[in-house]
């Protein structure tokens, strides 16, 4: 039952308006293989809004629709940091490849708000070094409460000082205060649980403790929408109760999903608003049952729960998008057509393969899992099955010129059709097949009638992929040691296939990222 407890350890960031954000900048000392992504930080299952490539001189530019005014994650080279954005803004962001985005300089419309955000983050980083939280958690309740209240007062004083200095938007100031409150609530829950686990299961906090908890939650719906620390608090408070509930409901059963259990559990929680239920259920679903190894039957169950139990339209839409990106089409759906071209600029349609099964291989030159070491594995797969099926290699680089260069270099001598999805990750081909940067490379199997034959795969050595290929071709691949996965470059760690999550709340990070 430990897996149910793990659901309540992390939670993800909120705020309104849907206008285009234009961004440009320069990362000195960067690699042209690196990419910059922006992700909305308030959702529980959000996908990258844009994936921007860097030119050889480190410059970049792009634009995207900002679903809300609020917190976003800027991601580069495996590192992440927060940025506050509003629809309609034009901003310029710059930094050094060795430290970006942990440190950056921002100019343009977003400067004023982000100067406030970074100043408060810097203060938190320094302040965290002065507070021994582990020691405070061991104190008696009266001393603990006094310590926590001092932390709140010190941080809020700094917030007000920075409000006078930078004059940020009111909604950003409120978000920051809510974020601090959510973090303090999480620490208070840790205090309660740790004292119960120290040999005193009947331990109960006093009224003064619960009164302070209530004081920190003046607007619960606003906090649950915008602050992951508060969601983490709510989930951790539910954890012991849900643990007992799950144990009772799963006795003698092996096919009950965590999402089903949690959905049923929430229906009896009269003290939670529908907004809170939607956010918490969506988070649990995204973390527990939407991943590359999800069985088809489970994926179908999740679709039904999304349709029936999630009431918020935006959350429902986000969940459906992430599930499609991870679990793909329903088997039997027609493989959609989209704009593809060959090197000679002639249009290409995937339906040209009708009458013979085929594999779609999505890849890009900048993806770290594609390279010389992967080619022998891919060549083996192609050579074994090519008499009975076709192979279509779909490049999603930023330009057709890069496609020509990449396909001629990497795929030379491999049987198949090389095509380019015009626009790369922004192409209609990538959108129709739910292809994102974190998902590359990926493989789709289509049957001879032009219908999707399986979920997407991310590992050429996946035994389930081999089973599908054997079924579609009538061939029988040589048996491989199940412990050996052919992940030489084209393989991908399934754990990395969740949509890139936002970083921990700044206030909860003992050494938060600093920006200039």
Would you say residue 477 lies in a domain? Answer: yes
Q: Give the structural domain span for 391.
A: 340-497
2 pLDDT exceeds 90?
no
pLDDT digits (tens, 9 = 90+) for 75-100: 999 999 999 999 899 999 999 999 99
pLDDT for res 503: 32
pLDDT digits (tens, 9 = 90+) for 198-216: 777 788 999 999 999 999 9
For 111, counting Cβ atoms within 10 Å of its Cβ (0-12 exposed, 13-18 middle, 19+ buried), the class is middle
* Residue 174: band (very low, low, confident or very high) from pLDDT cuts 50, 70, 90: very high
Give the domain-ending residue among 112, 128, 144. Answer: 128
515 pLDDT exceeds 60?
no
- The answer to which of 287-296, 349-358, 426-435 has the lowest mean pLDDT is 287-296
Would you say residue 278 lies in a domain? Answer: no
Would you say residue 172 lies in a domain? Answer: no
For 446, counting Cβ atoms within 10 Å of its Cβ (0-12 exposed, 13-18 middle, 19+ buried), the class is buried
CATH code of residue 77: 2.60.40
Number of domains in the chain: 2
Which value, to the nearest 10 degrees, does the dihedral of the CA atoms of residues 294, 296, 300, 306 take?
20
371 pLDDT exceeds 80?
no
pLDDT for res 372: 58
Give the whole-number percent of the chain exceeding pLDDT 90: 73
Would you say residue 359 lies in a domain? Answer: yes
| Contact status, residue 502 vs residue 73, Cβ threshold 8 Å | yes
Would you say residue 112 lies in a domain? Answer: yes
Would you say residue 411 lies in a domain? Answer: yes
For residues 182 and 1, what is the distance between their CA atoms, to the nearest angstrom? 27
pLDDT for res 479: 67
pLDDT digits (tens, 9 = 90+) for 267-315: 999 999 999 999 999 999 998 999 888 888 899 999 999 999 999 999 9
56/505: higher pLDDT:
56
pLDDT for res 196: 84
CATH code of residue 434: 3.40.30.10
pLDDT digits (tens, 9 = 90+) for 445-496: 999 999 999 999 988 888 999 999 999 999 998 865 544 443 333 333 333 3
325 pLDDT exceeds 50?
yes
For residues 318 and 46, what is the distance between their CA atoms, to the nearest angstrom? 6
Per-residue pLDDT, averaged over 37-44, amounts to 90
- Indicate the pTM of the whole model: 0.84
422/255: higher pLDDT:
422
Q: What is the bridge-based pairing of β-strands 59-66 and 90-96?
A: unpaired
pLDDT for res 498: 34
For residues 142 and 62, what is the distance between their CA atoms, to the nearest angstrom? 53
Would you say residue 235 lies in a domain? Answer: no
Give the domain-ending residue among 109, 128, 147. Answer: 128
pLDDT digits (tens, 9 = 90+) for 10-32: 333 333 444 899 999 999 999 88
pLDDT digits (tens, 9 = 90+) for 96-136: 999 999 999 999 889 999 999 999 999 999 999 999 999 99
Would you say residue 324 lies in a domain? Answer: no
509 pLDDT exceeds 90?
no
- The answer to which of 205-209, 260-264, 334-338, 504-508 has the lowest mean pLDDT is 504-508
Using only the alpha carbons of the chain, give its radius of gyration.
25
For residues 135 and 138, what is the distance between their CA atoms, to the nearest angstrom? 5
Please enumerate in sequence order all residues whose Cβ is within 8 A of that of 385, keeping only pairs 6 or more positions apart, or say none: 359, 469, 473, 475
């Amino acid at each position: 039952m430990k897996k149910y407890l793990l659901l309540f350890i992390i939670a993800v960031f909120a705020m309104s308006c849907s206008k285009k954000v234009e961004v440009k900048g320069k990362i000195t000392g960067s690699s042209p293989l690196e990419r910059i992504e922006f992700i909305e930080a308030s959702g529980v299952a959000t996908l990258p809004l844009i994936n921007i490539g860097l030119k050889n001189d480190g410059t970049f530019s792009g634009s995207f629709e900002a679903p809300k005014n609020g917190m976003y994650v800027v991601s580069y080279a495996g590192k992440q940091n927060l940025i506050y954005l509003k629809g309609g803004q034009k901003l310029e962001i710059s930094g050094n490849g060795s430290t970006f985005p942990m440190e950056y300089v921002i100019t343009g419309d977003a400067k004023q708000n982000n100067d406030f955000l970074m100043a408060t983050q810097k203060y938190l980083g320094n302040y965290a070094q002065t507070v021994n939280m582990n020691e405070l958690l061991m104190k008696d309740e009266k001393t603990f409460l006094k310590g926590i209240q001092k932390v709140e007062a010190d941080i809020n004083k700094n917030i007000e000082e920075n409000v006078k200095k930078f004059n940020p938007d009111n909604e950003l100031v409120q978000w920051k205060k809510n974020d601090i409150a959510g973090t303090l609530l999480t620490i208070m829950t840790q205090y309660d649980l740790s004292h119960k686990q120290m040999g005193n299961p009947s331990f109960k906090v006093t009224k003064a403790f619960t009164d302070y908890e209530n004081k920190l939650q003046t607007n619960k719906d606003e906090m649950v929408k915008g602050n992951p620390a508060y969601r983490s608090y709510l989930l951790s408070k539910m954890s012991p109760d849900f643990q007992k509930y799950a144990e009772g409901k799963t006795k003698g059963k092996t096919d009950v999903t965590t999402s089903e259990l949690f959905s049923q559990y929430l229906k009896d929680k009269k003290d939670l608003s529908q907004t809170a239920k939607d956010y918490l259920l969506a988070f649990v679903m995204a973390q527990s049952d939407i991943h590359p190894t999800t069985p088809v039957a489970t994926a179908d169950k999740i679709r039904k729960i999304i349709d029936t139990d999630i009431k918020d339209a935006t959350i429902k839409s986000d969940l459906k998008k992430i599930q499609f990106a991870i679990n793909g089409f329903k088997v039997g759906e027609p493989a959609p057509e989209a704009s593809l071209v060959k090197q000679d600029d002639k249009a290409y349609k995937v339906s040209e393969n009708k009458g013979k099964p085929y594999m779609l291989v999505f890849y890009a030159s900048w993806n770290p899992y594609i390279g010389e070491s992967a080619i022998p594995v891919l060549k083996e797969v192609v050579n074994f099955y090519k008499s009975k099926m076709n192979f279509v290699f779909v490049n999603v680089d930023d330009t057709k010129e890069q496609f020509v260069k990449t396909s001629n270099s990497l795929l030379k001598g491999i049987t198949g059709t090389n095509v380019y999805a015009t626009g790369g990750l922004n192409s209609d081909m990538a959108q129709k097949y739910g292809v994102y940067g974190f998902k590359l490379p990926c493989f789709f199997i289509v049957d001879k009638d032009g219908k999707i034959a399986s979920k997407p795969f991310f590992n050429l050595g996946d035994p389930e992929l081999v089973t599908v290929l054997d079924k579609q071709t009538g061939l029988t691949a040589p048996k491989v040691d199940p412990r050996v996965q052919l992940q030489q470059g084209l393989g991908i760690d399934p754990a990395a296939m969740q949509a890139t999550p936002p970083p921990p709340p700044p206030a909860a990070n003992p050494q938060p990222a600093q920006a200039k």
